[in-house]
Chain A
């Protein structure tokens, strides 16, 4: 079935650790890819997006993601996390004008 898969449901890191959250999708053809973040008590916010061009995409708050077409992957990275990065992160694909979300990864940063 066509889907978006996030590798980890819950990740716990200490401040200053490096972060990589995995995301794979199973749709063929042209895709638009997103990472959304939901901070505690807040609405979903766009972190970064890939439409075309440079497969290394930079987003807000020091996050970046790399689109690897051959691996159907769009992993999210941050070199050094902060306590304020504690949130839930969703990988998503825009398919036929609607967004298909992964199940999310809950990230908890220890101070």
Chain B
């Protein structure tokens, strides 16, 4: 399967700890997106990259959140000093640019639970 891959699938951690998630997009896709989904809601946009450049960040992405895509391939999303409200499913998606006319392909997500 050459779809979008996310690791880990589940992460349980104590409040105040740092966590890092990884996303491997479909290999030829130069756009990579991060979304967050909480219970009863649709996914909400967090940030996206074109190649290694981070082009936009949502206001949802507080200064405790940082995302990187250093070589334009995989991406990491780090949350520092986690809080209860960070518990959610974190989704990664990728597409070809231009993004407007290209559907995004989603990974299975990383479910984060904060104790």
Contact = CB atoms under 8 A, between A and B. Distances in A.
Interface in B73-113: 91, 93, 98-101, 103-109
Contacts of B105: 46
Contact of B106 (A43, A51, A94): A43
A100 B41 CA distance: 11
Contacts of A32: 100-101
Given A43-B109, A44-B91, A98 B101 contact: no
A97 B42 contact: no
Interface in A73-105: 90, 92, 94, 96-104
A34 interface: yes
Nearest to B106: A44
Q: How many of chain A's residues touch chain B, expressed as a range? A: 20 to 34
Contacts of B3: 43
Nearest to A92: B42
Interface in A3-55: 4, 9, 32, 34, 36, 42-46, 49, 51
Contact of B98 (A43, A49, A97, A99): A97
B33 interface: yes
Given A43-B109, A44-B106, A98-B56, A90 B42 contact: yes
Contacts of B106: 36, 43-45
Interface of B: 3-4, 31, 33, 35, 40-45, 48, 55-56, 91, 93, 98-101, 103-109
22 contacts: A4-B42, A32-B101, A42-B108, A43-B4, A43-B107, A43-B108, A44-B91, A44-B93, A45-B106, A46-B104, A46-B105, A92-B42, A94-B99, A97-B55, A97-B98, A98-B33, A98-B45, A99-B35, A99-B43, A99-B45, A102-B42, A103-B42
The 6 closest A-B pairs by CB, nearest first: A101-B42, A97-B99, A44-B106, A98-B45, A43-B108, A46-B103
